[in-house]
C-alpha cells in the first residue's frame, strides 16, 4: 500500500522532489511505527533518555534521516504518515533537511514529556550549523555517542 502511495506521489511531484520522495518512503514506516507505541516501561525510557550536550554521528542505518525545522513540522509529518496523506508529508518535508551517514550532530534540547523529540545542531556535513528536530526514538541510528 505504501508503494502505491509513493508511486502516485512520484507521478504528481515536480522534477527534483523525486529524491526527497524516495527518502520519505524509507522514513515514513520508521516514524509511523514509532507513533503507534503508546507506553514504554520506565526503565527503558531511563536508559534511552537523551542527554543535552551529547555528540554523535549518523550511522549507516540513519542515512537520509529527515530533520525538521520545528516540532510542529515533525508532528505534521507524523500525522500525515499515519493518515497516509502523501501531500501532507510532502508539505511537512519542505522545512526538513536530510542528514547523511557520517554527519556529526550535538543534542541541544529535548522537548515534551519523556523527551519524544531531540533538537540537534549539525556540526559537520552539508547542513553544518543548522538546528533541527528529530524523534528521540531514532537514537539507534546514531553512532559514536559521546557525553
Give residue 46's pLDDT: 38
Residues 75-134 pLDDT 10s: 999 999 999 999 999 999 998 999 999 999 998 988 766 668 889 999 999 999 999 999
Three-state SS at 80: helix
Question: Bridge partners of 109?
Answer: 119
Q: What are the domain boundaries of the chain?
A: 2-146
- pLDDT for residue 118: 87
Residues 6+ apart with CB under 8 A from 5: 84, 86
Q: What angle do CA 129, 19, 139 make, to 5 degrees?
A: 50
Please tell me the predicted confidence (pLDDT) of residue 26: 62
What span, in angstroms and rounded, lies between the C-alpha atoms of 76 and 12?
21
In the chain, what are the helix, strand and coil shares in percent, each to the nearest 5?
45, 25, 30
Residue 41 confidence (pLDDT): 36
The pLDDT value recorded for residue 35 is: 47
- Quote the pLDDT of residue 56: 87
Task: With beta carbons less than 8 A apart as the criterion, state whether 145 and 56 touch.
Answer: yes
Q: Is residue 120 a contact partner of residue 132, using CB atoms and an 8 Å limit?
A: yes
Query: Tens digit of pLDDT for each residue in 19-73?
Result: 666 666 666 656 554 544 433 333 333 344 457 888 888 888 888 889 999 999 9
Amino acid at each position: 500500500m505504501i508503494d502505491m502511495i509513493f508511486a502516485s506521489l512520484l507521478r504528481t511531484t515536480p522534477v527534483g522532489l523525486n529524491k526527497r520522495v524516495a527518502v520519505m518512503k524509507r522514513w515514513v514506516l520508521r516514524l509511523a511505527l514509532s507513533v503507534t507505541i503508546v507506553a514504554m516501561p520506565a526503565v527503558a525510557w531511563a536508559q534511552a533518555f537523551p542527554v543535552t550536550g551529547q555528540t554523535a554521528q549518523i550511522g549507516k542505518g540513519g542515512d537520509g534521516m529527515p530533520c525538521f525545522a520545528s516540532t510542529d513540522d515533525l508532528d505534521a509529518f507524523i500525522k500525515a504518515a499515519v493518515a497516509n496523506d502523501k501531500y501532507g508529508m510532502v508539505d511537512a518535508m519542505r522545512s526538513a533537511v536530510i542528514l547523511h551517514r557520517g554527519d556529526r550532530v550535538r543534542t541541544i534540547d529535548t522537548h515534551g514529556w519523556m523527551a519524544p523529540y531531540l533538537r540537534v545542531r549539525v556540526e559537520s556535513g552539508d547542513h553544518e550549523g543548522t538546528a533541527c528536530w528529530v524523534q528521540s526514538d531514532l537514537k539507534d541510528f546514531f553512532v559514536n555517542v559521546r557525553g
